[in-house]
Structure 1
């Protein structure tokens, strides 16, 4: 399972551990990922996603999963989230 947020595309980044003596060793900074179930109001069902804590706050701020996905750029979405976005667009076009 990759350590990448399905909504924002955030992943691990690298940096340095710097000791008191100023020795530098490489390390990884991992995103704060959580397994959550988010409800789609338009589709009327829940989706299990692995997203970062900051993405969860952004979803709440934008008013839910539907609004977030419709405003999100397709390049940063994971294939699973992109499939949900396409279903949303199709459901809105028929409604």
Structure 2
């Protein structure tokens, strides 16, 4: 499993730890990944994802998984999240079409 958030694409960063004497030691900064189960209201099912704590806060701020994925860019999402986004958009289009007719 890669150390990458499935919703935001945030991954491992590389940098230096700098001491008081200005010596530099290579260091890897890992994202704060959490295994979570999120509820999709449109699909009426649960989805298990590996996301950062920051992404989890963003999902709640936007109003749930469906709203987050509709606004998210395809490039940042994992393959699982892309498929989920397409399913949600299809379902929302289906529910909107009969209401308009």
Q: What TM bracket, shorter-length normalisation?
A: over 0.9
* Deviation of the 1:75 alpha carbon: 0.7
User: Equivalents in 1 of 2:22, 2:93: separation in Å?
Assistant: 59
1:22 deviates by 1.5
SS of the counterpart of 2:60?
helix
Q: CA deviation at 1:18?
A: 1.2
What residue number does 2:94 align with?
Answer: 94
Q: Distance in 2 between matches of 1:18 and 1:74?
A: 36
Q: Is there any run of 5+ residues in structure 2 with no aligned partner, and where? A: 96-101
**Aligned match of 2:19:** 19
| Larger CA Rg, structure 1 vs 2 | 2
Post-superposition shift, 1:17?
A: 1.1
Query: Which residue in the other structure is 1:84 paired with?
Result: 84
CA distance in 1: counterparts of 2:3 and 2:60, whole angstroms = 22
CA distance in 2, matches of 1:19, 1:75: 37
Runs of 4+ with deviation above 4 angstroms: none
SS in structure 2 of the partner of residue 5 of structure 1: coil
Q: Distance in 2 between matches of 1:8 and 1:93?
A: 24
Shift of residue 24 of structure 1?
A: 0.4
Structure 2 residue 67 is matched with structure 1 residue 67 = yes
Aligned-pair CA distance for 1:64:
0.1
SS at match of 1:83: helix
1:74 is paired with a residue whose SS is: coil
Q: Provide TM-score, normalisation by structure 2.
A: 0.91
What TM-score does the superposition give when structure 1 sets the normalisation length?
Answer: 0.97
